[in-house]
Amino acid sequence: MKQIDLPAAAEEILRTIWQAGYEAYIVGGCVRDASMGRVPSDWDITTSAGPEEVKKLFRRTLDTGIKHGTVTVMVGSEGFEVTTYRIDGEYLDGRHPKEVTFTASLEEDLKRRDFTINAMAYNPERGLVDLFGGQEDLEKKVIRCVGDPKERFSEDALRMMRAARFAAQLGFSIDEGTKEAMKELAPTLKKVSAERIQAELVKLLTSEHPDEFRTLYETGLTAVFLPEFDACMNTPQNSPHHVYNVGDHTLKAMEGVRADKVLRLAMLLHDMGKAVTRTTDENGRDHFRGHARVSEEMAKKILHRLKFDNATTTAVCRMVKYHDWQIHSAETEYYLRLALHQIGKDAFPDIFEVNRADVMAQSDLWRDEKLSRINRLEELYHSVLDQGQCVTKEELALNGKELIELGVKPGPAMGKILDRMLESVLEDPARNTREYLTSHLESFLS
Ligand code: ATP
Ligand code: MG
C-alpha cells in the first residue's frame, strides 16, 4: 500500500500526540478516500489519548463532542476532529451513541466502525492498519460490514442506509451477506430518527449514482421511511408515453438532473401522486389527471415527516408542482412573463431541467417534439430576461415610495394599485415607464 500524503497540519497533530507518548492515526473516510485517490473532505484522527490530554497538547481546541471523546484541534482556520479510541454503546435514537467507553486498543475502535472500507487507520510511522480487509474490498468495490452484518445493523439500523449511501457515492456494490442482513433487518429502521435518515438520504440522492435508491426499495427500507415510493413501484403506466412503472420512471428521472439536493428530491417526489390519481379508461389506458398537484401535497407531507427545513421543502414542492407545466403552456413571451411572475423568477432555469429529465424518462414517443417545445420555452425565457422585461412588482418603474409622493395613501389599496400596474406591464412591457404608469395612474385606482 502506497503512502498517504497528509496535509501538513494533520501530520503535525499526529506527531505532537505521538511525541507525548500516545498513539494517533488518521482514520475512517479519509483513509478510504485517499486510498482511492479521492480528495478527502476532512481528516479525522483517532488516538489513545483521552480528550483532556488532547486538550492539553494543543493551544486552540473546541469541545465538539467531549462526552464522546471528540475534540476539534484548530490549526489556522482549519479544524481537525481528534477522537479518543472508543467502544460505542447503544445508538438508540440520537445522532451519537447513548454512551461510549474509551479504550486503549486501536483494534477495538476500528471494530466498532460500520464497513471494512471505513475501518482503516494510517499514520506515517506505522503505515496502514487494515484489520478487516478494507483494501481488498476497495479493490473489489464492495461495501461489507465489519464483522457480522446482522449484529452491526442491530446495533445501529442507520448503517443500512449508510451501506446504500456509500454504494451510491463510490459506485460500489453491496456484499451479499450485508445485503441479506439489510433485507432481514430493514423494519428496524423505524427506530432511527428522521434527522439521521434524512442526512443519509440526501447524500445518496446527491451522489453520482442516485439510482442506488433502488437498493433501499429492494431491501425494504423505503417501506419504512417512504412507503409512497413502494406504491409508485406498484403503479403501472399503461400509456404510449411511458415504458416504466412510476417507480422505475422516477429512478430514471433522478439521473436526468444535476446532483443538487432540491432537484434530486423534486424528481424523487414528482410523480408520487400518480399512485392515487390513476384511472384506467375503456381502452385500458392509464391516466393520472391532476397528479402534479397531488404530488405537491404529498411532497410537502413527506418532507415535513423527514424533518427537512422549510426552504428546502418550499423549493422542492414548487418543482414538483410545475414538473410538467410545459405541457399546458403557450409559446409566447407574454406567457413566459406570467409564468416567471407566478412560479417565481428564481425557479428558472432549473424548472426546464426538471421538465427535460421527466421527458427523458418517458417513452420515445414524440420525445423530440416534447424536447423542442421545452427548448422554445427556454428561448422565450431568455428573450424575456435579455430584454429586461418586468415580471415582479420590484421591477416596476414606479415603486411604493413614489406612489406616496404622487398622493397615494399607503396601505392595502396601494398594494392593489401595484398589482394592477404589474398586470398591465406583464401584458405589455413597453408600459413599464414612469411616464406611462404616472399618466395612467387613474386607471389603476379602480
Ligand atoms: P463522508 O465523506 O461522508 O464524511 P465518512 O466515512 O467520513 O464519509 P462519516 O459519517 O463522517 O463518514 O463517519 C466517519 C467515520 O465514522 C466512518 O468512516 C466510520 O468509520 C465511522 N462511522 C460513522 N457513522 C457510523 C455508524 N453509524 N456506525 C459505525 N461507524 C460509523
Ligand atoms: Mg466524514
Please tell me whether residues 200 and 238 are part of one structural domain.
no
Contact 128, 1 (CB under 8 A): yes
CB of residue 113 inside a 6 A radius of ligand 1: yes
CB of residue 156 inside a 6 A radius of ligand 1: yes
CB of residue 432 inside a 6 A radius of ligand 1: no
Residue 354 maps to a domain: yes
Mutate to test the pocket of ligand 1, among 113, 204, 208 (most ligand atoms within 8 A of CB): 113
What residues form DSSP beta bridges with 86? 102
pLDDT of the residue at 1 = 63
Please tell me whether residues 135 and 153 are part of one structural domain.
no
pLDDT of the residue at 50 = 97
Q: Report which ligand 1 atom has the smallest distance to the Cα of 156.
A: 27
Please tell me whether residues 26 and 134 are part of one structural domain.
yes
Please tell me whether residues 25 and 130 are part of one structural domain.
yes
Rounded to the nearest 5 degrees, what angle is found at the Cα of 234, between the Cα atoms of 228 and 237?
110
CB of residue 118 inside a 6 A radius of ligand 1: yes
Please tell me whether residues 328 and 405 are part of one structural domain.
no
Please tell me whether residues 12 and 97 are part of one structural domain.
yes
Residue 94 maps to a domain: yes
Q: How far is the CA of 269 from the centre of ligand 2 (A)?
A: 28
Per-residue pLDDT of the chain (446 residues; tens, 9 = 90+): 678 999 999 999 999 999 999 999 999 999 999 999 999 999 999 999 999 999 999 999 999 999 999 999 999 999 999 999 999 877 655 456 778 899 999 999 999 999 999 999 999 999 999 999 999 999 999 999 999 999 999 999 999 999 999 999 999 999 999 999 999 999 999 999 999 999 999 999 999 999 999 999 999 999 999 999 999 999 999 999 999 999 999 999 999 999 999 999 999 999 999 999 999 999 999 999 999 999 999 999 999 999 999 999 999 999 999 999 999 999 999 999 999 999 999 999 999 999 999 999 999 999 999 999 999 999 999 999 999 999 999 999 999 999 999 999 999 999 999 999 999 999 999 999 999 999 999 999 87
Please tell me whether residues 243 and 358 are part of one structural domain.
yes
pLDDT of the residue at 94 = 44
CATH label of the domain that carries residue 154: 1.10.110.30
Q: How far is the CA of 41 from the centre of ligand 2 (A)?
A: 7
Sign of CA dihedral 174, 34, 262, 324: negative
Q: Report which ligand 1 atom has the smallest distance to the Cα of 28.
A: 18
What residues form DSSP beta bridges with 145? 115
Residue 204 maps to a domain: yes
Quick one: cell of 329?
Answer: 403552456
Residue 218 maps to a domain: no
C-alpha to C-alpha distance for 435 and 87, rounded to whole angstroms: 75
Residue where a domain terminates, one of 185, 212, 239: 212
Domain count of the chain? 4
DSSP annotation of 388 reads T
Query: Which residues have a beta carbon within 5 Å of ligand 2, which is an ion?
Result: 29
pLDDT of the residue at 183 = 98
CATH label of the domain that carries residue 362: 1.10.3210
Please tell me whether residues 240 and 295 are part of one structural domain.
yes
Quick one: cell of 396?
Answer: 416596476
Tell me the pTM. 0.96
Please tell me whether residues 252 and 320 are part of one structural domain.
yes
CB of residue 29 inside a 6 A radius of ligand 1: yes
Range of the domain at 264: 226-386
Residue 220 maps to a domain: no
